[in-house]
A and B are shown apart, each in its own frame.
Chain A
Amino acid sequence: MVYPLQVLADLPVRLARHAQDRLADERMLRDRNEALRRENLVLNARLQQLLALESENMRLRDLLGSSFRIGERVLIAEILSVDLDPGRQQVIVNKGSSSGVFVGQPVLDANAVMGQVVRTNPLSSTVLLITDSEHALPVEVNRNGLRTIARGTGVGQDLELLHIPKNADIRVGDLLVTSGMGGRFPRGYPVARVIGVRHVPDDPFTVVTAQPTARLDRSREVLLVWTLSPELRGETLSDRTAASESSGPTGRVGVAP
């Protein structure tokens, strides 16, 4: 119901952007073209390497006997410039359930994880960013595989890591990537970089803050990702335990002892 209003509010910004593109002079366009071509070349070179690595990875995983699929479908969506409640970190994108977007779907930008879809309408959906105070996602330190949970602080653009023991090996500058433990985010996408490690004397845990690598407040386009096909999604750990509990012989419902 409010979607037309939101589109209307987005219109001035869209028009300004359009006008800016129109007015860009030829030299600037040529420069940008040149830069993009160079970047494309570099990325293509890296992609070749990546393909080789990916197939090698698949072979090794086959040897280990673990099932792991790469191959994802993505959809590019645009963020509507609509001001939402300043206390929550969320954005509205212009793709909704009519494009197959579902609740819980991971949202990325070109650099890293941005958040997940929390509400879908036919033509738009709301994305909760990882910096919202009600968002937590399982991550691991890329350097040594230390698993933890990154929670948004809701104020500013920082994340905090929960329950890091005093003797944990974590340093400023460590890259955090998704660990895929929750079954929601695909594994191995960059999330944030550690910017502060503090030891507070009366706190049993280390206070670690991190800064998202995604440009949460600047990107205009986002990627909606389908990582697992529905039958594979049914095989995540939480679903499996839920299924075995509900179909258990005792038919036990409620809290496990």
Chain B
Amino acid sequence: MSEAPSRGTWMVLLTLVAALFLTILPLPAAAEDLRPQWVALTLIFWALALPDRVGVFWAFGTGLVLDVATGTLLGHHALGLSVVVYVAVELHARVRIFPLWQQALLIWLLLVLERLLALWVLGATGQPMPSLAYWWSPFVGLFLWPWLAVVLRDLARRAGTV
């Protein structure tokens, strides 16, 4: 990794694009509240796996693209994702040796933090407050994390990113 620091960056980009795609994919109305925060999950994974390459700037840039794609206020998601990825980069050395279920709990905390920051932006800009169903997606993320982490780790190894 040290000799070619940009090796496999395309895999990071590809997974982020896939996460964006899953975010705007139309779902039936009943399942809409259960949609996990795909982009946040993917970014946290890369921040934990490659803390020296994927950091706050990646999070901010991806957040802006997410804002454009979902039609929210520019910077709405960028703020939350930057903070969450910052925390993930700070903690990466500890989190990486956790067992998966313990990792999942911490990821859940980070996802809740992201939602909280998004809610704060909503409140600050005077938009209507979402219902309680807004808080479902961190729980979905909690159960999704072990699988997602394994799949992404496998992809990263094959692409030579890590």
Contacts and interface: CB of A to CB of B under 8 A. Distances in A.
Contacts of A134: 127
Contacts, number: 62
B73 to A, nearest CB: 9
B116 interface: no
A153 B17 CA distance: 33
B65 A1 contact: yes
B48 to A, nearest CB: 25
A84 B71 contact: yes
A87 B32 contact: no
Interface in A24-56: none
Interface residues of A, number: 25
Given A2-B68, A88-B72, A133 B128 contact: yes
B20 interface: yes
A126 interface: yes
A85 B69 CA distance: 9
Interface stretch (B4-12, B21-29, B90-98): B21-29
A73 B114 CA distance: 45
B128 A126 contact: no
A74 interface: no
Contact of A84 (B24, B35, B127, B128): B24
Contacts of A82: 24, 26
B69 A5 contact: yes
B119 to A, nearest CB: 10
A85 B128 contact: no
A5 B24 contact: yes
Contacts of B32: 83, 86
B70 A8 contact: no
B25 A9 contact: yes
B130 interface: yes
B120 to A, nearest CB: 13
B122 interface: yes
Given A9-B24, A83-B32, 18 more contacts: A2-B68, A5-B17, A5-B20, A5-B21, A6-B24, A9-B21, A9-B26, A10-B26, A81-B26, A83-B23, A83-B35, A84-B24, A85-B72, A86-B32, A86-B33, A87-B127, A90-B71, A92-B71
28 contacts: A1-B65, A2-B20, A2-B69, A5-B69, A6-B24, A8-B21, A9-B21, A12-B25, A13-B26, A82-B24, A83-B23, A83-B24, A83-B25, A83-B26, A83-B35, A83-B70, A84-B71, A85-B72, A86-B32, A86-B130, A87-B127, A87-B130, A88-B71, A126-B71, A133-B128, A134-B127, A153-B128, A155-B131
Interface of A: 1-2, 5-6, 8-10, 12-13, 81-88, 90, 92, 126, 133-134, 153-155
